[in-house]
Amino acid sequence: MQQLLRWKNSENRKPLILDGARQVGKTWVLREFGKRHFSACAYLNCDDNARLRDAFSGGFSKERIVRDLSLVSGTRLGPETLLVLDEIQEIPEALSSLKYFREELPELPVAAAGSLLGLSVHAGTGFPVGKVDVLKMHPMTFSEFVRALKGEDGRNALMQSPMDSLATLHSEFKELLRQYYFAGGMPEAVKAFADGKHPDEVRSVQNAILYAYGKDFSKHLAPREVPRVQQVWQSIPQQLARENRKFVYGAVRSGARAKDFELAIQWLVDAGVAHKVNRVRKAVPPLKFYEDFGAFKLYALDCGLLAAMSEASPEEMLVGDSVFEEFKGAFTEQFVLQQLLPGLKSSPFYFSADDSKQELDFLLWKDGRMVPVEVKAEENLRAKSLRQFVSEHPGTRGVRLSMSPYREQDWLVNVPLYATERLVLDRIP
């Protein structure tokens, strides 16, 4: 909401595209934004809307488009009315028209929401390159989940308390973390969980989202490509359960090679339902120069969806410490990436040396320097690879994310897993 407000007040405001995977809350946040910060909100859904399709198919005359969209929405358009075009990917002419809104009607605030599944299809064709502002929306982070369950005071305790004082609330945050691994950050699932619905009902919400994603695969792909995408998608839990999480094509299908599935993987990434973290061969800035496209990890969009895909029972995840101990750290790395992505300004990588067993779970570029990160699912404090990396790269300081309390050493900072978001928002390390 704060980013949307900055967009509204920008002197060089362009039409906005709020992108992200389905069900992350794009429609709700735009309508709520219109309600809070404008005199009126004209909401139009482009999905299966013949009258709206006709309005955009007649070319762009600003007088006509304002008249027609006012009539279709039932709301008079003007500088103090937010025009929301939902599911904009369903009308390519509407997507293309954003450049004309920018050039001929800059005073009219226009915000579009679209599924990446559809927007990626139109990129390079009718996509208004350079004529729009883009914001990305992710699933709810852990601090937002805490706010949903414990209110603003709970979130402030997590995000604003001195790091060394978090230990006094360790048990409470660990319990909330366990619940987040299960419920995840998809708003509908979080709402069901926060409303006290039975865990089976929360899982039903997650399964419905997964089903909708499957239907989208069929909608946007050629029939021959659908099975490949589904095979990769369904293999993600197994890939993350591997010791080093590295993606192996043979785990998708026996004897498979990169050429069989690399397009399917890229499609899932472009659609926003999977995240790819590539290896860097050499830890020297700029890290992008040393990216190894042949070695990568593939994560799901959301840890709650990963739990549903894994068919991990609610009892296993919510009772006891099985979720931290018996899932080989798969949920932990998924959780960490999910907390880092919204706040990072550059791509995260993982590091693996060619000539040794040294490997780091994540290597970040933050505040003009490298930040090596090791992730531990429990209170395991061994960090051999991290120590070696820091000793070989003077000027770096390692971060270990674990279930242990916050602690600073000369070469390392231990951050509790539940405070991972603060790694990108605060000056840590």
pLDDT in tens, 87-97: 998 898 999 99
Mean pLDDT of 215-226: 88
Residue indicated by tokens 């000539």: 355
Q: Which two tokens stand for residue 150?
A: 């414990």
> Cα–Cα distance between 234 and 253 in angstroms, integer?
11
Cα separation, 194 vs 429, whole angstroms: 33
- Cβ 210 vs Cβ 300: under 8 Å: no
- Whether the pLDDT of residue 310 is over 90: the answer is yes
Is the confidence at residue 58, as pLDDT, over 90?
Answer: no
- Flag whether pLDDT at 123 surpasses 60: no
pLDDT-derived band at 291, boundaries 50, 70, 90: very high
Task: For the chain, give the number of residues.
Answer: 429
pLDDT digits (tens, 9 = 90+) for 281-290: 999 999 999 9
pLDDT at 31: 97
Cis link prior to 429 (omega < 30° from 0)?
Answer: yes
Task: Tell me what the mean pLDDT of segment 121-145 comes to.
Answer: 82
Question: Is the pLDDT assigned to residue 153 strictly greater than 70?
Answer: yes
E strand or H helix that includes residue 327: none
CA dist 307 → 138, 252, 289, 413 (Å): 18, 19, 35, 29
**Helix, strand counts (H, E) of the chain:** 18, 13
Closest CA to 18 of 10, 27, 9, 8: 27
Q: Sheet with 16-20: list strands edge to edge.
A: 40-45, 81-86, 110-115, 16-20, 133-136
The whole-angstrom distance between residue 210's C-alpha and the CA centroid of its chain comes to: 16
Which ranges in 184-302 belong to alpha helices (H)? 187-194, 199-220, 226-240, 258-270
Instruction: State pLDDT tens for residues 221-253.
Output: 889 999 999 999 999 999 998 888 899 999 999
For the chain, give the mean pLDDT: 91
Residue 248 contacts by C-beta under 8 Å, 6 or more apart in sequence?
239, 242
Report field, pTM of the whole predicted structure over 0.85: yes
Domain limits, the chain: 2-136, 142-425
Whether the bond into 348 is cis, omega within 30 of 0: no
Percentage with pLDDT > 70 across the chain = 94
Q: Give me the pLDDT at residue 356, please.
A: 65
Query: Quick check: 363 and 290 in contact, CB under 8 A?
Result: no
User: Residue 268 and residue 61: Cα distance in Å, rounded?
Assistant: 37
What are the tokens at 91? 């009308």
Please indicate whether residue 187 or residue 218 has the higher confidence score (pLDDT): 187
pLDDT band at 314 (very low <50, low <70, confident <90, very high): very high
The whole-number pLDDT of residue 120 equals 55
How many angstroms separate the CA atoms of 232 and 249, rounded?
9
125 or 329, greater pLDDT: 329
Summarised one tens digit per residue, pLDDT across range 364-417 is 999 899 999 999 987 766 778 899 999 999 999 999 999 999 999 999 999 999
Range in 33-47, 102-116, 369-383 the model is least confident about: 369-383
- Confirm or reject CATH 3.40.50.300 for domain 2-136, answering yes or no: yes
Where residue 118 falls among pLDDT bands split at 50, 70, 90? low
Look at the block and give the residue holding tokens 């002419």: 93
